[in-house]
Amino acid sequence: MSTTKTKWNVNFKVYRKKGQNPSHYDQFTLEVDPDEYVLDAIERIWAFHDRSLTFRHACHHSTCGACGMLVNGVEKLSCITYIRDVVEDGGTLVIDPMRNFPVVSDLVVDMSLFFDRLEMVGQRQVVPVSDETIGDGKKAQSPTNGKEYLRLSDCIECGLCISACPIAATNPDYLGPAILAGAQQNGLDRKPELLQIVDQENGLWRCHSVYECTAVCPSNVDPAWRIMDLRRQVTAQRLKRLFR
């Protein structure tokens, strides 16, 4: 937070869509603190300028994954995106809903298929710490009773990776980075059916190595790495079966 409390004037062009009406952009000019987050400004637009604005948000600290949106065309988790990182004093921020999901209203998108697929691959939200944190391979456990520590996973199911993926843009049947990463996290050994689910043309092999998913992920998931790792695992398994 700045000590001199500088205030900027920033223009917000926000995507609007209601019902069957065509979409358009509404302009709002706000006085903002550059150290604030984009979500703060959007909330103020709703609170003080236009109560009809709909947007998703809950935790305001990157654990719920609800507030994903496009900020000047780039996927961002708006609650942890500093205004100073995306615009300057007097500049314009264009706010759009995430790509590759059907729009429900304004910045709210329909994520039912996304969650359906996540459930299908069984991405685990609560995992042993050592499973999730790619680290020294040691088990994180209580030294007193040996119980493994659990934690909420890196993936917050925000959907930004799906929005950024050009393959997901052209092929809605592609499972997508978050789902494939979730499959890798769950593990082929934990859920053998995953082999069929991911080893198909709209699964692992549809990825074209663009790496945009990892670039936009706000939560250390590195989906691209997980997709490639899963490919390695799947190939190894298939080869093993071939030579059995």
Q: Which residues are CB-neighbours of 139 under 8 A, at least 6 positions away?
A: 128, 130, 148
Quote the CA–CA distance of 60 and 138 in Å, as a whole number.
32
Q: Which amino acid is at 44?
A: R
Residue selected from 186, 211, 217, 223 as contacting other proteins according to rule CB under 8 A = 211
**Residue 26 or residue 129: which is nearer to other proteins going by CB?**
129
Asked if 185 is part of the footprint of other proteins (rule: CB under 8 A), the reply reads no
Q: Which stretch, 6-14, 71-79, 173-181, 194-202, contacts other proteins (CB under 8 A)?
A: 71-79
Distance of CA 73 to the CA centre of its chain: 15
Q: Is 58 in the site for other proteins (CB under 8 A)?
A: yes
Does position 29 bind other proteins by CB under 8 A?
no
Q: Is 228 in the site for other proteins (CB under 8 A)?
A: yes
| 7 lines the binding site for other proteins (CB under 8 A) | no
Q: Which residues pair with 28 in a beta bridge?
A: 12
Task: Indicate which single residue of 11, 13, 26, 62 sits in contact with other proteins (rule: CB under 8 A).
Answer: 62
141: CB partners within 8 A, 6+ apart? 147, 148, 149
**Nearer to other proteins by C-beta: 89 or 119?**
119
Q: C-beta of 61: minimal distance to other proteins in Å?
A: 4
Determine which helix (DSSP H) or strand (DSSP E) holds 106, and give its type and residue range: none
CB contact at 8 A, 217 and 80: no
Q: Should residue 235 be labelled a site residue for other proteins when binding is judged by CB under 8 A?
A: yes
Which residues on adjacent β-strands are paired with residue 32?
8
The backbone region for 218, taken as left when phi is positive above 0, alpha when psi lies in -120 to 50, beta otherwise, is alpha
Considering only 63, 89, 173, 201, the residue that binds other proteins (CB under 8 A) is: 63
Q: Burial letters for 106-131: b for 16+ Cβ neighbours within 10 Å, e otherwise?
A: bbbbebeebeebbebbbbbeebeebb
**Element (H or E) spanning 163, and its range?**
helix 160-164
Stretch that binds other proteins, among 6-14, 162-170, 173-181, 187-195 (CB under 8 A): 162-170
- Identify the residue among 7, 24, 139, 208 touching other proteins (CB under 8 A): 208
Contact (Cβ atoms closer than 8 angstroms) between residue 14 and residue 25: yes
CB of 48 to other proteins, least distance (A): 7
Q: Which is nearer to other proteins, 9 or 235 (CB)?
A: 235
Nearer to other proteins, 13 or 150 (CB): 150
- Cβ closer to other proteins: 126 or 242? 126
Which helix (H) or strand (E) segment is 223 a member of?
helix 223-242
The residue range among 6-14, 173-181, 193-201, 212-220 that interacts with other proteins, by the rule CB under 8 A, is 212-220
Please, which residue, 14 or 164, has the CB nearer to other proteins? 164
Q: Is 80 in the site for other proteins (CB under 8 A)?
A: yes
Amino acid residing at 194: L
